[in-house]
Every structure is written in C-alpha cells, then in structure tokens.
Structure 1
Amino acid sequence: MILLSNEKMVAMMKRVHLMRALLIALAAVTMLFGTARAGWDPADEVNAERTIGMFRKADPSLERFFSKAYGYAVFSDIYKGGFMIVGGGHGKGVVFDQGRPIGHATVTMFNVGPQLGGQSFSEIIFFKDRAALADFTKGNYELSAQFAVVAVRAGMATNTDYSNGVAVFAMPNAGLMGELTVGAQKFTFRQYR
C-alpha cells in the first residue's frame, strides 16, 4: 500500500480538479462551435429584424445610423467563451444594403488574455458608404483590437461616430464572462443567389 503525504494528496487533487475543469471547458467550446456552424437557417432574417428592433428600443439614438448608413451587418447571436488565456467565438448574421438583405455573414473571434466564462451577444456593424460595405462583402474582412465596440445603452450612439467608415455596436444577450483580452473578429460573406 502506498501512502501519500497531505501535501502530495492536495497537489494531486488540485490537478484532478484542473483537468476536470479543462475537460468541461473543452466540451462546452466543442458544443458551442459545433452548433454555431450548423447550416444556414432561413429564420436568420427574422432574427436579424428582431435584433434591429431590440437595438432601436435600447438606444433610440441609433436611428441616425439606421437611416443614414449605406448598409449594416446584423449578428443576432455571437457565442463567445474563454478559459485561462485563450478564448474565441462564432456567430452568423445577415448583411443589409440600403435596408435590403443581400447575403449572410459569419464572424469568428479569437482573443488572448486572462478570461473565464461564456456569453452570447448581438452585434451590428454599420457601413457609412458603399466603399465600406464593399470592403466587407469582398470576404475575409477583419476588425482588429483598434476598433471600438460600443455597448448599447440609451444615448450612447449620440456620442459615437464612424471609424474608417465603420461603427460597431454590441448588446449582451446571456451569460457571464470576465476578461481582459486583446483579439480580433474575422468575417466572411456570401451573397444570396
């Protein structure tokens, strides 16, 4: 029979708990990305319209973006998670050109830094003019850490303007995540046929 000292037993139990937490996080991320990459759902346009209504209700000053932007991309649910120093997320959305849906897009996120948890949020990217929308619809578009994402609250859009032809607003849906990270969002676009 092998007897372990209290210190060795505590260290072994910590490793077991850490491994269990890592396996749970890995399973959650696998489920999250597995469902987020399912096929295109025709209800996405309905969800996009619902999301637009929620943003307008949360901050009526966003109306100046909806009425004057050349186009916008609406992501109803972006799922994001992180554990320790690595995290990521994925979501899909609908792209509008002058208020008319023209295609769908996906967003993939990767971030590095201290983080723990998971959340879902909605995001709308406004394109000031035809050139900004064209940059997005070429495919492989990226928003780096330099772009400010404004959390939607009443009156926040009043003090916000475009940066390089783009304005980005986000609103939490569910979950809790603590993070101090740097990352990027990469987008793909596919036009309706």
Structure 2
Amino acid sequence: MKKVNVIWIVLMACAMTITPMFGQSRAKKNKIIADSKMAKVEFIKTDPLMEGLFEKAYGYAVFPNVGKGGFGIGGAAGNGVVYEQSALVGMAKLSQLSIGFQAGGQAYREVIFFESKKDMERFKDSQLEFAAQVSAVAVTAGASANVKYAEGVMVFTMQKGGLMYEASVGGQQFKFNDL
C-alpha cells in the first residue's frame, strides 16, 4: 500500500511541476510574437524603405532579442517568429558560435527576408546556415535602398545595446518549429 501512495505522490508532484511549464511556454511564445511586432515597427521606423521589403518578400523571420557575448570564444542566441506570405507560420531559434578576437556583449534585433518559397522551405527545414561570408546590413535610414538578395536571403540587424569588439569567424544556425 505504501508503494502505491509513494508512486501517487511522485506522479502528482510531476504533474504539478510540468503543468506551469505549458502555461509559461504559451506566455513566452506570446511575448516573442509581441516583441517581434514591435521589432518590425522599429525596423520600419528607422528605415521606412523596409516596409516594402516586408510586403514584397515571400517570407521573413524576425528575431527581436538576440543576445551575443564572448571573450575569445563567443556565442549568440535568440528566439523569433516566422511569417510566410504575411501569415504567422512558426517560431524559430537562432544560435551562433564564433572563435576569434572578441570581447564584450551586445543585444540586437535581426530580420531575415526570403525571396522565394524554395528559400523559405530551406529555412523551415532547418537547412539554412550563415557562414562568415554572409553579412548583415546594419539598419539606418535608407540602408535597405540598394540591398539585394544573396542566395535567396537578405539579413538586417539593429543594435539594441551593449558594446562588443569582434574580428571573428562563425556562423548562425536556425531551428524552425511550426505553430
């Protein structure tokens, strides 16, 4: 009889521990979605020409809060929202590892535009990785005027805060999850 009580208590404790996680997960997703909408507004506010990019792109991913830091070895991570033909289709995780001269930390926003369905599918299949040769354009007024797609993607970043010195080699990886 005691074994049954112990098992029951353990099961109840597990259920009570796991249940709040589901609520937090939904709340976290909602916050990321809200932050992504604000990030989009900030990108367009800084460079009004970006509104056309958001409208014409086949799809895009917005990472509103990417944290980056390092000292010799560095990394970055962030969560974002993915839109296909202006409809919310999923969430994504960004991760980055870099090695080289770097020190400090910073926070920034990132948006990735996809030129076609094929480019979007590559991202959704988690097959898109950025190597050292792919560069992002720092958003300033008019920065998007002459930017072209490279291998089906266009990347823009906007610094939010922090200071980081960097001369490193690394790449970004992405993991897509349907809603």
Shorter-chain TM-score bucket reads: 0.7 to 0.9
Runs of 4+ in 1 over 2 A off after TM superposition: none
Q: Does residue 53 of structure 1 match 2:15? A: no
Aligned to 1:81: 69
Q: Write the deviation string for residues 137-175 of structure 1: whole angstroms up to 9, x where unpaired.
A: 012421111112000000110010100110000000111
Any gaps of 5 or more consecutive residues in structure 2?
Answer: 1-23
* Alignment of 1:117 onto 2:108: no
| TM-score between both structures, scaled by the size of structure 1 | 0.77
TM-score scaled by length of structure 2 = 0.83
The alignment status of 1:146 with 2:146, answered yes or no, reads: no
- Per mean C-alpha deviation after superposition, the further-off stretch among 138-147 and 115-124 is 138-147
1:64 CA drift (Å):
2.3
Q: CA deviation at 1:67?
A: 1.4
Whether 2:63 is the aligned partner of 1:67: answer no
Question: 2: distance between equivalents of 1:45 and 1:97?
Answer: 14
Q: How many residues are paired up?
A: 154
Provide the rounded CA distance (Å) in 2 between the counterparts of 1:69 and 1:140.
Answer: 19
Q: What CA RMSD, in Å, does the superposition of the two structures yield over aligned residues?
A: 1.2
Q: Which residue among 86, 89, 106 is the counterpart of 1:99? A: 86
Q: Deviations for 1:74-104, whole angstroms, at most 9, x for unmatched residues? A: 0000000011x21001100000011111100
Counterpart code for 2:122: D
Q: Which structure 1 segments of 5+ residues have no match?
A: 1-37
Distance 2:25 2:158 in 1: 24
Residue in structure 1 matched with residue 16 of structure 2 by the alignment: none
Counterpart position of 1:176: 163
**Structure 1 CA distance, aligned partners of 2:51 and 2:25?**
32
Amino acid at match of 2:76: G
Identity of aligned residues (%): 40
CA distance in 2, matches of 1:39, 1:189: 16
1: CA distance, partners of 2:101 / 2:135: 20
Q: Counterpart of 1:164?
A: 151
